[in-house]
Chains A and B, each alone.
Chain A
Amino acid sequence: MEVTAVTEILDTTLALVFAWVGYKTTRILWKYTPYSYPNARIRAMEARLFNEQKFNELAESKTLNNFIINLEDSDYKDYLANISSYDAESIEKALDTALADIYGLMFKILPKRVNPFFKLLLQEWDVRNISSIVKAKISGEPAVNYVIELGTMVPKIKAMADAKSMEEILVILEGTEYEEIYQGLLLGEISVDEFETQLYRMHYLKLLEYASSRKDEEKIILEEFVKLKIDKLNILTILRAKAHNLKADVIKSFLIPGGTINKKTLETLLNVDDLSMALAELDSTKYGNIIKNVREEIEGDLSVLGREFDRYIRERLGELTRFYPLSVAVPLNFILQKETEIKKLKAIAKLIEDGIFPEKIKDIVGELT
């Protein structure tokens, strides 16, 4: 062989090696660097999540005053420092603000390529608020009681709760994405239940669309999360409908597309006779394990399933966190844990206000996990 040929082969090999190494290195850097800061910060915050002993101490508080004092060495201190009166409602409001700030922080520290998801998650509170306000207005209850001061449009939500008529709400919703669906409700084209379903459907489809538009790990994690949420909602809808003996095609209109349960299982679920048969059908899906342990309780009270499902979603995200330590799974997992913590705190505050005994509070709160 000519010397030049050897040199050329060597040069080409070198070029190839460098191109490959360069490409791989950039990919790795692009993938992990943006998560470095938020991951460490969130882990440090996870270290401050309350453990069982802390909840027990809180449950022992006896008075709301003590409850607040017991929270003074925590991150909630600043939020609780400014409340004017020591009642469960203002504590709840303060805790909601804390949660809203967590969402805001996630949005701020996470990389741009994924942080809109957290804004979308925050919108779920808008959906929840709008549907509860509308439901309250229709049944003539004071809507203010149902408002949770969280979400992307809190001032509008407050104005809606204060609104005197349904038409005023329409004016406020004008220009938002909820306008069209609400108009349908006003014109009598859809019922209140359908209104709620459509709101959630729109929201979940938006989440799913965003999740599918991501790449690699982010796509895997976000899609799994959204699909789990959709499955939860669908299964709960079906079971609730079964408990009320609704027809299959009626239930069908309430389902949200995009979940992981396949069509066939859904069809069978829709057409079985009663709740226990539906539960038996679900045994064959991956959610069988959730149902197995609490089947009897579920048949009495469906909210047990909702809780179990939430727990399953959290566990699954915990697994994802361990599998992808530098990824969007970490903040997602943290948000869910924080939401649970705040839910528990609210429950404790409410129960203390109602004068429930500490032992009983511990039991009730223990069930929330």
Chain B
Amino acid sequence: MFKPEEMAKIELISLGRYKDNLLTYLHEKGAIEIREVDVKFTQKDVPNEFYRKATSYSISISRLIDFLKTHKKEKGGGIKEFIFPPEKEKKVYKYRGIEQLIKDVEAFLEKVEPEIKAVEGKLNAVQTGIERIKTDIAILELLSALNIEVEYLKPTDMLEIVVGLVERDKYKPLMKDLRETIGNRFVDISKELKDKYLVVFVFLREDYEKANPVLAKHSLERLEIPEGEGTPKDLITKYNEKLKEKEWELKKAKKEAEWLSEQYYEEILFYHELMENERDKAAILNNLARTNMTFALTGWIPKRNISDVIEGIKRITEGKVYINIKDPTPEELDEIPIKLKNLKFIEPFEMLTEMFGVPKYNEFDPTPIMAFTYSFFFGFMLTDFMYGLIIGIVAALLIKGHKHLRDGTWRFANILLFSSFFTMSLGIMFGSYFGNALDLAGFHVPRLLDTMREALTVLEIALAIGLIHMFIGYTLGFIVKLKNGEIKDALVEQLSWMFIIIAVILFVISERYSGFLTPAEGLFVVGFILFVLSELKNGGLAALLIISDFFGFVGNWLSYARLMALALATSGIAMVVNILVQMIWGVKIGAVPIGIAVGIVLFIGGQFFSTAINALGAFVHSLRLHYVEFFGTFYSGEGRKFEPFRAKREVSKLELNLDLKLKA
């Protein structure tokens, strides 16, 4: 707790023939973050032909997945699937080197790809067919304005026939230009449509070359005459029949696709995952160095995994390996990846810290403090027992449903569950159950404070909380800086504010006990002098910065007023809903108490809306108070997150073909 996981640097050199197995082992293990080997005298490693194949198979399989997915029969879905996502079965694959894997995939693709491609091709062909028939019908509909048999619109040996559309304002100039170019040696038929002219030109073949540029100049849009004989109207009925036939074919092809999807979807996902992981491995190869016989890799590993991993490496390389484990040096401070380490029940809150940025290796991990203050702030802003209960129930369901996944939703639900406890207890303190619903219903509700009527007291509490919160922040910063030897910074940047905050508290106390006034003034002066000293390094701008930074501090402090504002917003909206329900409750039409029915619907809907919108507000603003006001006092979040070289396994499980089994 409070410190990130201890890390060590690992360097290893082994024989080239173990590379594939070793990488696979590390990939499945997911305990090392691989970094680039700093080499000037040897080559970098590059992906071989098999890895290249893995990449392109991964893409082509993902295409097949896309196709099958669109034709998958929908099962389940909806809210139940969201809360309780089904556990996916992990199929085992026995890994015997990448060559064998590629061969297996090729064998699979050879069987499946043609089948899928055939159906896909059929679907596409039918669809294009339908499209073509539709365009043909559209053209025929245009032509039906002329009522000329279609076969007469086809060019012959002697004559070139052009059918097309030309914009209304270009029609006259076109005719004029044509006459100027080839005289009267052409026939034209035209028909006015909405904003265009449909024209048919008959040219002598020898004139056509001269006429063509003129047609291009006036942007004549040519129409392709559909095949067939007879008047356009007759042809349209024929084409419509064809269309029906094609649509039936389409239906049949879709059925086939559905069948294929049912047959292969799971299997194809399995192979895709295998290929994706190989692609991932190929991308890391650039970081390795190699010679003809050997390869080298380097990276960072959490100390507690070392013995386990080394044992595995030795087994895979049959002992033919050189391993060097080093403690990090101060120069590597910015290089060390950070893996947060906290008690189990606080772990989900690491998500909030990671979203801002992890600490540096010699810094303080604020997660444990945040776990408490974040949930407390959330509770303070929501302050309602029933809202807390609703959120708690939803969170508990999500935690149960996502237990096997341990994904983002699971972590988020854990945070919400924590927060809901605070929400409920603060709700009891403020006597708020769906706002003032119980009061309106005529019950006497015990409460320490009323958010609405004693808003100013709540404001004072909020500001006091703010002061304490910031004091904690400055103290933490002070300790960390002292430990890292930055004593001067610790004094002027953190201690100054600590003094000022204590002084402010003493000022408040001195309102009652006047004896505290002198120490308060003294501390304030000392703190302020330290603060001024910290600004002097900025040279000429110091005077300006002193003012702006001091009021920045005041602004940060006042910003905690949002604790009250959001608490007020919760009880406010709840009250609005309750009052509306109360108004509507007594309404009767004849003897029917319609008001009660409408009121219940309004109450449930309104309170759920209020829960959602206020929980969003509490979530966002509690986060903001930490990221902006709290972290601003001491935390940089400039560390590098630990990103291990790890396989993603959802539907597959790899068994390395050695005597040791791997955990997925």
When A and B assemble into the complex, do they touch directly, with CB atoms less than 8 Å apart? yes
A57 to B279, CA, bound (A): 10
The total of Cβ contacts below 8 Å across the A-B interface reads 46
**Which one of B71-79, B214-222, B396-404, B623-631 contacts A?**
B214-222
**Chain A residues within 8 Å of B181, by CB:** 171
Min Cβ gap A339→B in Å is: 24
Interface: B55 (CB within 8 A): yes
Residue interface mask A56-72, B partner, CB < 8 A = 1: 01001110001001101
B63 and A72 contacting across the interface, CB-CB below 8 Å: yes
**Chain A residues within 8 Å of B55, by CB:** 57, 60, 70
Contacting residue for B219 out of A53, A62, A73, A155, CB 8 A: A155
Interface: B291 (CB within 8 A): no
Residue interface mask B199-235, A partner, CB < 8 A = 1: 0000000000100111011010000000000000000
A163 nearest CB neighbor, chain B only: B213
Contacting residue for B216 out of A60, A159, A164, CB 8 A: A159
A155 to B214, CA, bound (A): 12
A174 and B56 contacting across the interface, CB-CB below 8 Å: no
B217 and A175 contacting across the interface, CB-CB below 8 Å: yes
A320 to B179, CA, bound (A): 54
Min Cβ gap A70→B in Å is: 6
Interface: A156 (CB within 8 A): yes
**Chain B residues within 8 Å of A45, by CB:** none
A321 to B59, CA, bound (A): 32
Min Cβ gap A293→B in Å is: 23
Residue interface mask B55-77, A partner, CB < 8 A = 1: 11001101100000000000000
B60 and A168 contacting across the interface, CB-CB below 8 Å: no
Contacting residue for B56 out of A70, A156, A164, CB 8 A: A70
A171 and B59 contacting across the interface, CB-CB below 8 Å: no
Q: Which residues of chain A from 37 to 79 have a CB within 8 Å of any chain B CB? A: 53, 57, 60-62, 66, 69-70, 72-73, 77
**Chain A residues within 8 Å of B47, by CB:** 60
Interface: A83 (CB within 8 A): no
Interface: A21 (CB within 8 A): no
Contacting residue for B59 out of A60, A70, A156, A164, CB 8 A: A70
A73 and B59 contacting across the interface, CB-CB below 8 Å: yes
Q: How large is the interface on A (under 10, 10 to 19, 20 to 34, 35 or more residues)?
A: 20 to 34
A162 nearest CB neighbor, chain B only: B212
Interface: B283 (CB within 8 A): yes
Interface: A17 (CB within 8 A): no
Q: Which residues of chain A from 67 to 123 have a CB within 8 Å of any chain B CB? A: 69-70, 72-73, 77
**Chain A residues within 8 Å of B62, by CB:** 72-73
A174 and B217 contacting across the interface, CB-CB below 8 Å: yes
Min Cβ gap B524→A in Å is: 37
A66 to B57, CA, bound (A): 10
B214 and A72 contacting across the interface, CB-CB below 8 Å: no
A70 to B63, CA, bound (A): 10
B217 and A156 contacting across the interface, CB-CB below 8 Å: yes
Q: Ordered nearest first, which 5 A-B pairs have the shortest CB separation?
A: A159-B216, A171-B213, A168-B213, A72-B63, A172-B213
21 sample A-B contacts, Cβ–Cβ < 8 Å, listed by A number: A60-B47, A69-B56, A70-B55, A70-B56, A70-B59, A72-B59, A72-B60, A73-B62, A73-B63, A155-B219, A156-B217, A156-B219, A159-B212, A159-B213, A163-B213, A164-B209, A171-B213, A171-B214, A172-B213, A172-B216, A174-B217
Given contacts A69-B60, A171-B181, 4 further A-B contacts (CB under 8 A): A61-B56, A70-B55, A72-B63, A73-B62
